[in-house]
Structure 1
């Protein structure tokens, strides 16, 4: 983790023995190891949270992209349906005057009004 070699460890041990003393050195080592473990756990927790947030952001971006793709596809389908409906309306229903059927016969309402005129 810290890239400390054997020579550095020996120097740290000798200096700590001279500064702290032989009676308090074991307690100081225990206290130091407890604090070091707490720091490691804290860094690991932070690292996991950052990785989780990055993963969540990636998932959200993917979901947004998928949603946009679906909207685009729905828009394309809607436009295709509209174009098909317009072309069908133009080919299937030419300009027919109101009251006439496409077969050339007048509609029932036109017949009824003609009969009323005769009576």
Structure 2
């Protein structure tokens, strides 16, 4: 099981990766709040996705977030580091993404 610090770092790594590719992603019209809920650690993080970037990442849940990612700590770390395919993980119910269908289509372009 990954630690809270490892999950926090994985999300920071994701934010950095999105930041590096933001110019190509800036055409994605997505401005939504995001919550990432880690089931096995009973913790959460939240931030905002805008212009292809993950911004304002901080500890704690946002129950009103428009997009919610629910997963285990190990699956989050594996997903961010490319060891877990998001489509296969969703199909296997290892990851749950709660968002509108239109937001899901836009998220696919980021991931």
By the TM > 0.5 criterion, same fold? no
Give TM-score, length-normalised by structure 2: 0.19
Give TM-score, length-normalised by structure 1: 0.18
Q: Which has the higher helix share?
A: 1
Which of 1 and 2 has greater Rg?
Answer: 1
